[in-house]
Amino acid sequence: MNNEIIACFPQWGSYYCAFRFLFENGFGVKYMTPPPITKNTIELGSKHSPDYVCVPFKYCLGCHIEALEKGANCLMQIYGGCRLNYYGELEEKILKDLGYNFKFFNMAEINFKSPKSILQNLKIVNPNVSIVKIAKALPATIGIIKTIDRMEDFIRQNAGFEQNENEMEDIFSEFKQKLDSTTGYKEYKKLKKEYLKKLANVKINKPKNPIRVGLVGDYYTVQEPFSNYNMEKELEKMGIEVHREMNLTNTIIKSKYKSSRKIGKKYVKFNIGATANYTVAEALKYAKNGLDGIIQVKSFGCTPELNAQTVLQNISKDYKIPILHFSFDSQTSETGIKTRLEAFYDMLSAKKK
């Protein structure tokens, strides 16, 4: 019975829609949307991971354990510029030690210079994988990612001012649900048109000069709402226009790395690793565009963000823009975060007057 392959990638924002599309239509395997992250997930993850590894690792591990319990049998992990490079191998080792039986698709093992290695690794997911099928599914996958980012950007900036509460969020989740049954590019295009229109038609009364806050931080924490304690939603509730540039579109699909280096040249001369250059450039952009404040969210001990934090402090002094730093661990208290956010909001609104 267990011949069916069920793939699963850790919970990461709303991108599961895109991954589902890629795996079901490209790889030809079943995709299991990982169960939503709860307190239980992070507890499970922290229990089995090393002490002071960064929190995203604990989230990923917890997510994988929950998915395995629910019947997934093919897990995957991406790679990146920092500790993320080693996530895959260590996770595989820990899960195997726990006695689970599964296949692991680790992108860090792929040598991207040799086509043979790429094919070999893709075959881990599905032994009769077809490259043509994957290539056919890619444009729509990229399209979905771009649309999700575009919609989220729109919601972030306007949801705080809508007349009927949660209208935008409802439309967005409806869109995500509809995406679950899409199989082709044309179908997706139609959906995209329909829902973008719906979003634009939502009635909002935005004041002329609202408080605007920019969000920067490390790749996972800034993008996964649970890991930053739903900070975006909290800010929106206060009636703040939230800006965030860090997403898949801006980093991988249409990489802004080169322009980031150029923008941050005054402060940072070299590549300081992972997302730190983006963070610096984004913060500078927000400061120059006259945003009211910047919030940096990061996981505890994140090396590149720590180095970026030193630079952010200088930017804060030069441009006279307040920056709030959050460092999340697996045991951060929610009330503490709320209090700090409220104080930050009060400070911004007092400054605005």
Partner 1 sequence: MTIGIPRALLYYKNEKLWTKFFDELGINYIISPETNKEIIENGSKYAIDETCLPIKIFLGHIDYLKDKCDCIFIPRIESDQDRETCLNFRAQYDLVKNTFRNYNLKILFYNDSGHKPQKESKAYKKLCKFLHIKKSLGKYAYYIAKQTQMYYEFFRSENQEKVLKDTKKIKVLLLAHAYNIGDKYVGEPIVNMLEKLNVQPIIAEYFDRKKCIKASKAVSKTLPWSYNQHLLGALELYKDVVDGVILITTYPCGPDSMCDEMIVRQYKDVPIITLTIDAQDATAGIETRLESFVDILNFKRNGKK
Q: Which of residues 271-290 bind partner 1 (CB under 8 A)?
A: 271-274, 276
- Cα–Cα–Cα angle for 322, 323, 328, rounded to 5 degrees: 155
Helix (H) or strand (E) holding 74: strand 74-77
Strand, helix or coil for residue 203: coil
Residue position matching structure tokens 């209090």:
339
Minimal distance in Å, beta carbon 94 to partner 1? 7
Rounded to a whole number of angstroms, the distance between the first and last alpha carbons of the chain is 67
DSSP 162: B
2 part of the interface to partner 1, by CB under 8 A: no
Contact map string, positions 316 to 345, toward partner 1, x by CB under 8 A: -----------x------------------
Among 94, 155, 179, 215, binds partner 1 (CB under 8 A): 94
CB of 316 to partner 1, least distance (A): 12
> Does the protein bind partner 1 through residue 266 (CB under 8 A)?
no
The nearer residue to partner 1, 79 or 100, going by C-beta atoms, is 79
Q: Count of residues binding partner 1 (CB under 8 A)?
A: 43
Q: Are 8 and 75 in contact (CB under 8 A)?
A: yes
Binding track over 35-64 against partner 1, x by CB under 8 A: --------------xxxxxx--x-------
Q: 90-99: list long-range contacts, CB under 8 Å, 24+ apart.
A: 90/57, 91/57, 91/60, 91/61, 91/64, 94/48, 94/49, 94/61, 95/61, 95/64, 95/65, 95/68, 98/48, 98/65
Cα–Cα dist 60/66, whole Å: 10
What is the spatial distance between Cα 31 and Cα 118, in angstroms, rounded to a whole number? Answer: 21
Alpha-carbon distance of 202 to 87, in angstroms, equals 41
Is residue 210 close enough to count as binding partner 1 by CB under 8 A?
no
Q: Per rule CB under 8 A, is residue 306 in the interface with partner 1?
A: yes
112 binds partner 1 (CB under 8 A): no
Out of 101, 201, 310, 333, the only residue in the binding site for partner 1 (CB under 8 A) is 310
The CB-of-327 to partner 1 minimum distance in angstroms stands at 6
Per CB under 8 A, the list member of 307, 324, 332, 349 interacting with partner 1 is 307
Task: Answer for the pair 305, 218: CB distance below 8 angstroms, yes or no.
Answer: yes
The minimum distance between CB 246 and partner 1, in angstroms, equals 18
Which position among 28, 267, 324, 347 is part of the footprint of partner 1 (CB under 8 A)? 267
Instruction: Find where tokens 């599309």 sit.
Output: 21
Give residues in contact with partner 1 (CB under 8 A): 49-54, 57, 79, 81-83, 85-86, 88-90, 93-94, 97, 106, 108-109, 267-274, 276, 300-301, 303-304, 306-307, 309-311, 313-314, 327
